[in-house]
Amino acid sequence: MAGRVEGKVAFITGAARGQGRSHALRLAEEGADIIAVDVCEAVPGTPYAGATPEDLAETVRQVEALDRRIVAEQADVRDLDRLHEVVSRGVAELGRLDIVVANAGIDILGSWRDITPQIMRDTIDINLIGVWNTVMASVEHLVDGGGGSVVMTSSANGLKAGPFNIAYNASKYGVVALMKSFAMELAKEKVRVNSVHPGAVDTPMAQGAMPMFDEFERENPDLTGMFTQWIPGVMPPREISNAVLFLASDESTWVTGSTYAVDGGLSSY
């Protein structure tokens, strides 16, 4: 039986680990080849360890174990020229591009007094301008190929701001504006653009942020109560990958400009 994205090629940012790796594997399981990038180093200020070149190599190994092809390069989503370079190489090698998953991101939590200009700039540069760069470096290939799907990773924080996350909230609401803007203009090219909005996902990012959030929660129960999931617990990344797969596939041909929450109800009230 043909896979749900059989014969397609997907460009995924932040693919060394966490949700990005999971998206690469889920799409590869369903027949896609992959172009993967990751910065493979810690971004200063993030309360968790950075991904490594070995992590990206492990993504390559796992995609190849599924008998799919992958072009993987170390690249920073803040560097538009570098993204152009990697995407061009990937398309030359794999023959086409159909799917773009702008997933790379960082989260630097803190109360409003702790958020520095540097944190604001780094977060907007990676989480928002990095998503714009990702689309700008790749979407022409989708247009040339007659259409495709772009999926941007926002967050439940991009639908309902979470406490102690000013820079992150601003960047993730910004992703929704990017998504809707690109969706409008690209519809006539048969390129669909949607955003996914994860709740807490079991990745190094959430593992690093949770202890800080627990501390804020103890000190500010009135605020953190507003940020409660109806389904308790922390999701495995595959839950988000299943949403990405649907949005990337031809099963969602009429879905564009939409915000797709996978958050156990967290953003719903």
Ligand X SMILES: NC(=O)c1ccc[n+]([C@@H]2O[C@H](COP(=O)([O-])OP(=O)(O)OC[C@H]3O[C@@H](n4cnc5c(N)ncnc54)[C@H](O)[C@@H]3O)[C@@H](O)[C@H]2O)c1
Pseudo-torsion of CA 154, 155, 158, 161, nearest 10°?
Answer: -160
DSSP helix/strand/coil, 9 = strand
Euclidean distance between CA atoms 70 and 66, whole angstroms: 11
CB burial class (10 A; 0-12, 13-18, 19+) of residue 90? buried
- Whichever of 106 and 243 has its CB closer to ligand X, that residue is 106
- DSSP for 180-245, please give it: HHHHHHHGGGTEEEEEEEE-SBSSHHHHHHHHHHHHHHHH-HHHHGGG--SS-S-B-THHHHHHHH
168 flagged as catalytic? yes
User: Which of 9, 25, 28, 43 touches ligand X (CB under 6 A)?
Assistant: 43
- Whichever of 215 and 250 has its CB closer to ligand X, that residue is 215
User: Which of 9, 12, 14, 134 touches ligand X (CB under 6 A)?
Assistant: 14
| Tokens standing for residue 203 | 């990745």
Residue 181 C-beta: closest distance to ligand X, Å: 19
CB burial class (10 A; 0-12, 13-18, 19+) of residue 40? buried
- Whichever of 100 and 205 has its CB closer to ligand X, that residue is 205
User: Which of 78, 84, 180, 238 touches ligand X (CB under 6 A)?
Assistant: 78
Catalytic residue among 48, 168, 173, 260: 168
Q: Does 107 bind ligand X (CB under 6 A)?
A: yes
Residues 46-65, one symbol each (x = binds ligand X by CB under 6 A, - = not), give ----xx--------------
DSSP state of 251: G
> How many binding residues for ligand X (CB under 6 A)?
31
Which range touches ligand X (CB under 6 A), out of 24-32, 110-118, 178-186, 195-203?
Answer: 195-203
Which range touches ligand X (CB under 6 A), out of 90-98, 103-111, 219-227, 244-252?
Answer: 103-111
Euclidean distance between CA atoms 147 and 141, whole angstroms: 9
Q: Does 131 bind ligand X (CB under 6 A)?
A: no
What is the dihedral sign for C-alpha 128, 133, 138, 139?
positive
Residue numbers 207-266 binding ligand X by CB under 6 A: none
CB–CB of 38/86 below 8 Å?
no
Q: Does 160 bind ligand X (CB under 6 A)?
A: no
Q: Which of 133, 180, 189 is nearest to 159 (CA)?
A: 180
Please enumerate in sequence order all residues whose Cβ is within 8 A of that of 76, keeping only pairs 6 or more positions apart, or say none.
39, 82
Which range touches ligand X (CB under 6 A), out of 16-24, 65-73, 176-184, 251-259?
Answer: 16-24
Which range touches ligand X (CB under 6 A), out of 3-11, 202-210, 218-226, 252-260?
Answer: 202-210
Q: Applying CB under 6 A, which residues contact ligand X?
A: 13-14, 16-20, 38-39, 43, 50-51, 76-78, 103-107, 126, 130, 153, 155, 198, 200-201, 203-206
Q: Which residues are catalytic?
A: 168
